[in-house]
Amino acid sequence: MRYTIFGESHGPAIGVVIQDLPSGIALDMEEIAREMARRAPGNSPLATARREKDVPEILSGLFEGQTTGTPLCAMIANTDQHSGDYDDVRRYPRPGHADYTGFMRYQGCADHRGGGHFSGRLTAPLVFAGAVAKQILAAEGITIGAHIRSIGGIEDLPFANREKPLTPSLLRELNRMAFPVLWKERGEEMQAEILKAKSEGDSVGGTIECAVTGLPAGMGAPDLGENVEGIVSRHVFAVPGVKAIGFGDGFGFACLRGSQANDSLRMRMGEVVSDTNHSGGINGGITNGLPLVFEVAMRPTASIAREQQTVDLENWTNATITVKGRHDPCIVQRAVPVIEAAAALAVCEVMDI
Ligand SMILES: Cc1cc2nc3c(=O)[nH]c(=O)nc-3n(C[C@H](O)[C@H](O)[C@H](O)COP(=O)(O)O)c2cc1C
C-alpha cells in the first residue's frame, strides 16, 4: 500500500490516493466518518474556529462497497477559507512554520494560503487513509489507539501503569473519547492549560503515546528500510508538528541500568511473554510480540497571536509579523487520530499489506 496526499488548505479540495490496496475489502464508511470526525475541528474553544465537515467523497477504487484494488481516491472539499488572513505570510514568513522553507524549496511558487500543503488540514486525508488501514488490520486482530501523554508539562499516566493496563479494549475506549487521557483530572488540567495559553496569545505543545496490540513476533528486519522503528518514524514524521519520537522508554533509557531496562522473557501457556515492555515491542528492528508502543512530541502551534521577528522576503530585510487567521492553540488533542493513522499505515508496511 502506498499513498499520496494532495491539495492545499485554501484550494477547492484536499484528498488522498491509496495504491496497491488489496481488492475485496468491504469498507465500513460509518467507521471512516467517525475517525474523520475525531480530527475535524468541531465546536471546541481548544481548537481552530475553522468549520469543516470533512466528509470524504470517494472518486475511485470502491465498487458496490468493496475495494477494487485499483487506486482508491478520496476527496474532501474545503468550504471555510479566509484566505485574506494570509496575505502577509507570503512576504513575511511565520517563525516556526514552513513558510520560509516552503518558499526556498518551491522558489516562491507554493500556495501560502492557510499554510498551503503544509497545513494541519492536510492530515484529514491522512486520517482517511489510516481509517482504511485500521479496518484491514482489525481483520488481522490488530488494534491501534493513543492518548494524550502530556500537554504543557502536565502528564497523564503512561500505558505502562498498574491501574489501567494496556489492552485492545482500553485502546478502543480511548478511540471514543473527545480528549483521550487515562487520568481524567489531569485531562481537565491540560485543557485549562490550553485555554490559558490561548488567552495569553500563545500556544502549548505536548506528547502523544500510541500503542498497537496484536502484532505477531518476528515482523521487520534490522536493516535500513525494513526496521520497524524506521518505518514507523518515517510515517509519523509525515505528520506536521511532530518533532521527536521514542519507542518504549525512549529517551528514558538513557537514565536506566540494564537491570531496570531489560524485559525478562518467560514461558506462559506455551508462549514467550514478558511482564514489562521497556523496549516498546521492538528488538533489533523486529517485533517481539509485545504491544508496539511509541511516544511523539508535538511542537506548540507556530502561529501565535503575538508580534514576532521575521524577515521580508521581497526586500530581504528584517521585519516583524503578527499572525492573523484561525489557529489551534494546541495541536496535540487533534493530532491523536492522525498519529494513530500514521501508525496504521506504518504497520501495513511492516506487514507487507
Ligand atoms: C491537526 C493539526 C492541526 C494543526 N493546526 C495548526 C494551526 O492551526 N496553526 C499552525 O501554525 N500550525 C498547525 N499545525 C502544525 C503545522 O502544520 C506545522 O507546524 C507546520 O507544517 C510545520 O511543520 P513542522 O512543525 O513539522 O516543522 C497543525 C498540525 C496538525 C497535525
The Cα 93–Cα 85 span in angstroms is 13
> Residue 85: what pLDDT?
77
Give the pLDDT band of residue 52 (cuts 50, 70, 90): confident
**Rounded distance, CA 74 to CA 56, Å?**
6
C-alpha cell of residue 100? 520560509
* Euclidean distance between CA atoms 166 and 162, whole angstroms: 9
Inter-residue contact 3 to 130 (CB < 8 Å) = no
Rounded distance, CA 123 to CA 7, Å?
11
Q: What is the mean pLDDT of residues 335-339?
A: 98
Residue 87: pLDDT over 90 = no
* Ligand 1 pocket, mutate which of 327, 331, 339 (most atoms under 8 A from CB): 331
Q: What is the pLDDT of residue 119?
A: 94
Residue 291: pLDDT over 90: yes
- 56-83 mean pLDDT: 94
Q: Are 236 and 242 in contact (CB under 8 A)?
A: yes
Residue 53 binned pLDDT confidence (cut-offs 50, 70, 90)? confident
For the CA of 298, the nearest atom of ligand 1? 25
Task: Report the pLDDT value the prediction gives residue 128, as an integer from 0 to 100.
Answer: 98
Eight-class DSSP state of 158: P
pLDDT at 239: 98
Q: How far apart are CA 301 and CA 337, in angstroms?
A: 17
Per-residue pLDDT band for 61 (boundaries 50, 70, 90) equals very high
pLDDT at 86: 74
Answer whether 228's CB lies under 8 Å from 255's CB: no
Where residue 250 falls (left for φ over 0; alpha for ψ -120 to 50; beta otherwise) is left
Assign a CATH topology to domain 2-350: Chorismate synthase, AroC fold (3.60.150)
Q: How far is 142 from 140, CA to CA, in rounded Å?
A: 6
Q: 332 near 49, Cβ under 8 Å?
A: no
Q: What is the mean pLDDT of the chain?
A: 95
Q: Is the C-beta atom of 97 inside 6 A of ligand 1? A: yes
pLDDT at 155: 98
Look at ligand 1, atom 14, and give the residue with the nearest C-alpha: 120
Among 177, 178, 3, residue whose Cα is nearest residue 74: 3
Of 345, 302, 323, the C-alpha closest to 96 is: 302
Q: Report the nearest-CA residue for atom 24 of ligand 1.
A: 241
What pLDDT, on the 0 to 100 scale, is given for residue 177? 95
Residue 333 has pLDDT above 80, yes or no: yes
Q: Tell me the average pLDDT across 122-128.
A: 97
How does pLDDT run across 292-313, given as a tens digit for each residue?
A: 999 999 999 999 999 999 999 9
Take residue 208 and report the three cell numbers written for it: 502523544
The answer to whether the CB of 239 is under 6 A from ligand 1 is yes
C-beta of 191 in contact with ligand 1 (< 6 A): no
Mean pLDDT along residues 79-88: 80
CB 311 within 8 A of CB 115: no
Report whether 129 contacts 18 (CB < 8 A): yes
* Per-residue pLDDT tens digits for 171-230: 999 999 999 999 999 999 999 999 999 999 999 999 999 999 999 999 999 999 999 999
Dihedral angle sign, alpha carbons of residues 262, 265, 271, 275 = negative
In this predicted structure, the answer to whether residue 338 has a pLDDT above a threshold of 80 is yes
- Examine the pLDDT at 146 and tell me if it is beyond 80: yes
Mean pLDDT of 45-49: 83
For the cut 80, the answer to whether the pLDDT of residue 50 exceeds it is no
Distance CA 40, CA 195 (A): 19
Q: Is 328 in the pocket of ligand 1 (CB under 6 A)?
A: yes
Q: Of residues 20 and 86, which shows the higher confidence score?
A: 20
